[in-house]
Amino acid sequence: MAVIFDIERSGMHDGPGIRTVVFFKGCPLRCRWCHNPESWDVQPQQLVYPEKCISCGGCAEGCYTGARTMCGADVSVQDVLKPILADKPYYGAEGGVTLTGGEPQLQADFALAVTEACRAHGIGVAIETSMAIYRPDLLAQMDLIMVDVKMWDDARHREYTGVGNAAILDNIRRADTLGVPMLIRTPVIPTVNDRVEEIAAIRDFVRTLKNAVGYELLPYHPFGLDKARAMGLDMPRFPEPTKEQMEQLKICAQL
Ligand code: SF4
């Protein structure tokens, strides 16, 4: 069993082709711009949206307006496999399953069991990971590893994500020995890591990796703010990068 908080069908943004995306609860990082802060705690939890509450008093029977929702549930491999097999006809040559979160490596034994079950049905699997945890037995089974290098400076990485990046960079170098294609990505957060020098330093690191198939920049979007509020968290709102700024940084990110 493992705790997951969503299964997205027909996903188009978490790897190549059409994908079923499995969201694992639990993450060792606390990125201040996180899209999925509801993933941080590995335990199921309640999210509260006071603006949706109509004071009907029916909380005990279940909230019909969505003002109170449970995030996360214990599931079995079979529970996860069911929608995956239903979606299989749509995957085509490129698509498949993406394990994401949160940090899927935190519940690696379950992630591995799901991966092996997918493999047995001829379905490819990719992972989105912070690489703060390193489980080579799981990573070696992937068709693609998508990993963020969020910023280059260790102290600033610690300030904005709660952990330094030395172990993360080391784990990426170790994963590079597994022979699995790796896509490196940086979320561009204005005022935090949107400098040309920062992107160039990460690009130079990516160039040293034998199995890197690309380096992508992802523009910040404040997707996580409503969910953070529902958890009682005060997350900052960063400015969004302009199109022009992204174009300029993308030139710098070319391998
Ligand atoms: S690693 Fe991902 S899931 Fe974890 S806090 Fe950072 S952005 Fe959120």
Tell me, what's the pLDDT at 80? Answer: 98
48-101 pLDDT, tens digit per residue, is 998 999 999 888 788 989 999 999 999 999 999 999 999 999 999 999 999 999
Among protein residues, the one whose CA lies closest to atom 6 of ligand 1: 31
Tell me the CB-side half-sphere exposure of residue 12, using CA atoms within 13 A: 0
Comparing CA positions, the residue from 39, 103, 49, 111 lying closest to residue 71 is 39
93-105 pLDDT, tens digit per residue, is 999 999 999 999 9
Tell me, what's the pLDDT at 255? Answer: 94
Q: How far is CA 137 from CA 22, 24, 142, in A?
A: 19, 18, 10
Q: Is residue 3 pLDDT above 90, yes or no?
A: yes
How remote is the CA of residue 166 from the centroid of ligand 1, in Å?
A: 17
Q: Where are the domains of the chain?
A: 2-252
Instruction: Compute the average pLDDT of residues 115-139.
Output: 98
Indicate the pLDDT class of residue 116, thresholds 50, 70 and 90. Answer: very high
Pocket test for ligand 1, best of 23, 33, 36, 151 (most atoms within 8 A of CB): 36
Which residues lie below 8 Å from residue 157, measured CB to CB, with a gap of 6+? 150, 151, 163, 164, 165, 168
Indicate the pLDDT class of residue 187, thresholds 50, 70 and 90. Answer: very high
Question: In this structure, are residues 75 and 4 in contact, taking their beta carbons and an 8 Å threshold?
Answer: yes
Name the superfamily (CATH) of residues 2-252.
Aldolase class I (3.20.20.70)
Residues framing ligand 1 (Cβ under 6 A): 27, 29-31, 34, 36, 39, 101-103, 130
Q: Is residue 213 pLDDT above 90, yes or no?
A: yes
Tell me, what's the pLDDT at 60? Answer: 79
Q: Round the average pLDDT of the chain to a whole number and report it.
A: 96
Which residues lie below 8 Å from residue 69, measured CB to CB, with a gap of 6+? 46, 47, 49, 63
